[in-house]
Chains A and B, each alone.
Chain A
Amino acid sequence: MSKTLFDKVWDTHVVRKIEGGPDVLFIDRHLIHEVTSPVAFLGLKTRGIKVLYPNRTFATADHNTPTINQHLPVADPLSANQLHMLEENSNEYGISYWGLGHQKNGIVHVVGPEYGITQPGATIVCGDSHTSTHGAFGAIAFGIGTSEVEMVLATQCIMQPKPKKMRINVNGKLGKGVTPKDVALFIISQLTTSGATGYFVEYAGDVFENMTMEGRMTVCNLSIEMGARGGMIAPDETTINYVKGREFSPKGEAWDKALAYYKTLKTDADAVFDKELTFDGATIEPMITYGTNPGMGMGISHDIPDAADVEGGAATYAKSLGYMGFSEGQSMIGKQVDFVFVGSCTNGRIEDFRAFTSLVKGKHKADNVTAWLVPGSHIVEAQIKEEGLLDILTDAGFELRQPGCSACLAMNDDKVPAGKYAVSTSNRNFEGRQGPGSRTMLASPLVAAAAAVTGVVTDPRTLIEELV
């Protein structure tokens, strides 16, 4: 029978099917961090259970870490305790632990691929909804709750009903200044924040085929923002070239065996999806959000839609615009910007910093803007320096911080104050997401750069002739 890429990977990992219930799914790789793991370890202790396969779990501290002075003790006692618990639990159960100060420390969805933990055709989970990032490699990767973290630690399995399947095709040539982030925000704006709930998405078409792994990760990362459990892209030469030779990638004979498996990972020509959508990439503009969920986005040259033209209730829409301080029919161009955040598991990779730097080169940060540039990992941080980007950024008045999730969820001190506006390359513009009362406009690194140098929302296409 013809199968989709998703079917192939899922079915390969089903230990047992429960009639009228979920599948028991085996998990190849499990990533943990300090926030969603402590109660899971507590559960193991209460039940007196060991970790079944400690070498399949990897721990890094990221959500709750400072992005300056990481060599100093963490000041907030609650954060310090959570970080300490991750270290203690990892040591007790024999799990690789990449804590603050460790060379491999960084955002879980950035370091996983960098070290080859992420593999095509693998099942990967983490107590974080942006685990969908790893789908860029043709893996089934999705976020789980803490009860499921405990299940994976105890038995390397979770129990999930098989989701429905959706394919999203985007073909055509992307316009000037249109990045993978814009493609993702465009798709979410078309589907709404719940349009893919209950589905697992496969992205197909030449727009994704032509993307780098970094770009594919940005797209798959945002799958959850339209409700999908995850999104994936069939592995190809780009994928294999990225994976080969990384520290935890298979080596020697194991690599040959893995390669043979990777090559089976594509949707059969006559496989059927529960839903299929196709978009023309040439129609996509640089995007920006104007509301309080990622589905409330539009091309940056458009005006904020009227309530009558959007799906959903007028009261919820009015509440959302009211929170943002925006009105129907307004243009976003020229809106106030107080903060610019570049980073997160969505846009904290080297390409994102290259794009940002390409636009700010030879210009200067606007005085009214506070900019936080936070690399996703030490590898990204090192690349920024080696490629000379840091010198350009410094000349333009920007500073680089240390790796972590930072202002994406503002668990640490990187908080946008109440009422202030941030153009952010992260993934969520929920009320208070970047700090209580903060107002977030999601956008690409290029749109963030344009805002950072002009001090207001600006179409990046107006600033440079030739963009990378």
Chain B
Amino acid sequence: MAYDKFNILTSTAVPLPIENVDTDQLIPARFLKATERVGFGDNLFRDWRYNPDNTPKKDFVLNDPTYSGKILVGGKNFGSGSSREHAAWSVYDYGFRCVVSSFFADIFRGNCLNIGVLPVQVSPEFSEKMFAAIFADPKTEIEVNLPNQTITLLATGEKETFEINSYKKNNMLNGFDDIDYLQSIKGEIEEFAENLPL
């Protein structure tokens, strides 16, 4: 599915300094019944965000008008658990284009890259600096520069480089997905399939 190209993102950020944020918090299973990819942002962090009577929980960061932006900064081991791509869809649909953490769960990271959310893994020290900077000044801006693979706290100029493989980087920069690529080598795949052991 097509997604917006990602180049340089400059935005304020939403801090969520909780570790092991799992996919059941990102999108609880009872909201996985849709057959189209629409409306998932409404249920992002549903049970942390809303009371059982659907009134907003005032102390949850997404309900706090102090914080906003296209960057979500989470704690260590972000996105653990299920393979549900709905978790990444919810993040994207809510309006985030980048998730920052000192450590990502594997499948969630891959799902993000496949749908146009950039997962940026930073050092634990830089993660601490980011949380401190955002809490000190919720309007502080962060630049995520994909071409240069850097993330910068613009107020102080503190920056760190992040890793992304060159294939995925090119996809994100151009809004390409893997199916475009795989379709282009279909002949090679069919030939390969002739000689498998099973």
Which A residues contact B (CB, under 8 angstroms)?
Answer: 12-13, 15-16, 18-22, 24, 26, 28, 35-36, 38-39, 42-43, 46-47, 49, 52-53, 63-64, 76, 78-79, 81-82, 85, 119, 121-122, 127-129, 131, 143-148, 150-151, 154-161, 163, 193-194, 197-198, 224, 227, 229, 250, 257-258, 261, 293, 312-313, 315-316, 319, 409-411, 418, 428, 430-433, 436-437
Q: Is the CB of A319 within 8 A of B18?
A: yes
Partner of B106, one of A20, A121, A197: A197
Q: Is the CB of B83 within 8 A of A18?
A: no
Q: Is the CB of B81 within 8 A of A15?
A: no
Bound state CA distance, A26 and B198, in angstroms?
12
Given A145-B110, A316-B75, A430-B22, A411 and B30 touching (CB < 8 A)? yes
* Contact partners of A20 in chain B: CB under 8 A: 165-167
Bound state CA distance, A128 and B17, in angstroms?
27
Q: Is the CB of A430 within 8 A of B24?
A: yes
13 contacts between A and B (CB under 8 A): A21-B168, A22-B168, A28-B198, A42-B36, A129-B107, A143-B83, A155-B186, A161-B165, A193-B20, A194-B103, A258-B198, A428-B24, A430-B25
* Contact partners of A119 in chain B: CB under 8 A: 198
Q: Is the CB of A143 within 8 A of B20?
A: no
Q: Is the CB of A197 within 8 A of B18?
A: no
Q: Beyond the given A193-B80, A431-B25, could you list 17 further A-B residue pairs with CB under 8 A, ordered by the A residue number?
A: A12-B196, A22-B165, A52-B186, A52-B190, A156-B189, A194-B105, A197-B104, A197-B105, A227-B77, A258-B197, A293-B80, A313-B19, A313-B75, A316-B20, A428-B22, A431-B24, A432-B24
| B136 interfacial by beta-carbon distance below 8 Å | no
Bound state CA distance, A316 and B22, in angstroms?
13
The number of chain B residues touching the other chain, given as a range, is: 35 or more
Across the two chains, which residue of chain B brings its CB closest to A22?
Answer: B167
Bound state CA distance, A144 and B30, in angstroms?
20
Q: Is the CB of B197 within 8 A of A257?
A: yes
Given A39-B37, A122-B198, A313-B75, A145 and B114 touching (CB < 8 A)? yes
Q: Is the CB of A194 within 8 A of B179?
A: no
Q: Is the CB of A127 within 8 A of B77?
A: no
Given A119-B198, A194-B20, A428-B81, A39 and B36 touching (CB < 8 A)? yes
Q: Is the interface of A mostly helix, strand, loop or mixed?
A: loop
Smallest CB separation, A394 vs chain B (Å): 31
| B125 interfacial by beta-carbon distance below 8 Å | no
| B65 interfacial by beta-carbon distance below 8 Å | no
* Contact partners of B107 in chain A: CB under 8 A: 129, 143-145, 224, 229
Q: Is the CB of A64 within 8 A of B33?
A: yes
Smallest CB separation, B35 vs chain A (Å): 4
Smallest CB separation, B37 vs chain A (Å): 5
Q: Is the CB of A121 within 8 A of B114?
A: no
* Contact partners of B77 in chain A: CB under 8 A: 193-194, 197, 227
Across the two chains, which residue of chain A brings its CB closest to B186?
Answer: A155
Smallest CB separation, B177 vs chain A (Å): 7
